[in-house]
Amino acid sequence: MANNSMGTKKVEELLVSKSMPLGMQFYVPNYQRGYRWKESQVQQLLNDIKEFDYEKNNEKKFYCLQPLVVTEDKENGWVVIDGQQRLTTLFIILTCIEKMLYKEKAQLYQMNYQNKPQMHDWLEELGDVNNDVQINSDDIDAYHITNAWKRLLRIQSNEKNGTYQNRRKMFFSLIKDPLFDQNDIADSLQKICDRDVAGITDWRKYFITVPEIMDSLHKYTDGRASERYVRFEGKYIFLMGSTRLYGWNEEYYSYALYCLLKKLPNASVKYNQAKGWEDVDCHIELTSSTNAGKWKIKYLRAKDKFSVIDASGVQSLYSTVEDAKYALEKLL
């Protein structure tokens, strides 16, 4: 009787190492059905991993990719009895990560198929990041695998306006930047932003220089993110809780100023949301804890200026977030 055993393995234990120059070798016999996972199933796996990542502070927890049933064969390695869909999808994900971040041939594990010996080489060459990903409709397995790859790169085969292709080019340009370091992505992005932000003077500027704005677009409840929205109405920008403008929202430029004023010592700051397109008396109420001064601040959309009114009713106008902040800082 064969010895049966059950255990867990980290993904890294399957990969190329000094003890396994070729990585673990998996063999898919011809009685197994071909690869049939749809984009929705690939996306669900990615969502599961993403949700689990919110609990990563608990080191005792780990994400388990459901059982993989194999039997050892001296000639072919590990024969896959159950789980080849997940194993192939994992291979595609790892190949995608390896080629995009490290820009080289992936050093993973071996996937061999009895009924398609050429599939191993095809998988390893899948999705050269410098070329467009082409759907292979002649082979049903290749068709589903290529669709899975396109889902990972967020590419739609029928797109007409080039949005996804442009995003892909932007992503590749980012990871090829001399300042980008895959071992410290957060620090790399900060360095790239610090280098390039001086040349950005349009609406994008405060999304970069005032990170609290982006933070405000994510509300976390029980470890899960609840996304908010950015809406453009002509030249006006709103930070919203829903996709429609009838709800409560913050006006973008006044909220950027609010975030900066909150950091000032001796300042008590309140932000007043608007409902829908309705206007407010003032966006920001500022009080000094040292001289009891009070100011009402409003971004005048029609004039593209900030109005600052003191307690005596005297109004001053400022053209930029920085000008308004500098003036108020002196008054505090």
What is the full per-residue pLDDT of the chain (332 aa) written as tens digits? 456 677 788 877 777 776 777 778 889 888 887 778 877 787 788 777 777 765 555 556 677 777 888 898 888 888 989 888 888 888 877 877 776 665 555 567 888 888 777 676 666 666 554 444 454 556 666 666 766 666 565 544 445 555 556 666 777 777 778 888 877 877 888 888 888 888 888 888 898 889 888 888 876 555 555 677 888 888 888 888 777 767 788 999 999 999 999 999 889 999 999 887 778 889 999 999 888 899 999 999 889 999 999 999 999 999 999 999 999 999 98
Which own/partner contact pairs does 146-152 have at CB distance under 8 Å and 24+ positions apart?
A: 147/38, 147/39, 148/35, 148/37, 148/39, 148/42, 148/89, 148/92, 149/92, 149/96, 150/39, 151/39, 151/42, 151/43, 152/42, 152/46, 152/92, 152/93, 152/96
Model pTM score? 0.52
Task: Give the Cα separation of 290 and 297 in Å (integer).
Answer: 19
Q: What's the token pair of residue 3?
A: 């010895």
The number of beta carbons lying within 10 Å of the beta carbon of residue 150 is: 19
Collapse the DSSP code of 46 into the 3-class scheme (helix H, G, I; strand E, B; otherwise coil) and give the result.
Answer: helix
Cβ-Cβ contacts under 8 Å for 249 (sequence gap 6 or more): 231, 238, 239, 240, 241, 273, 274, 275, 276
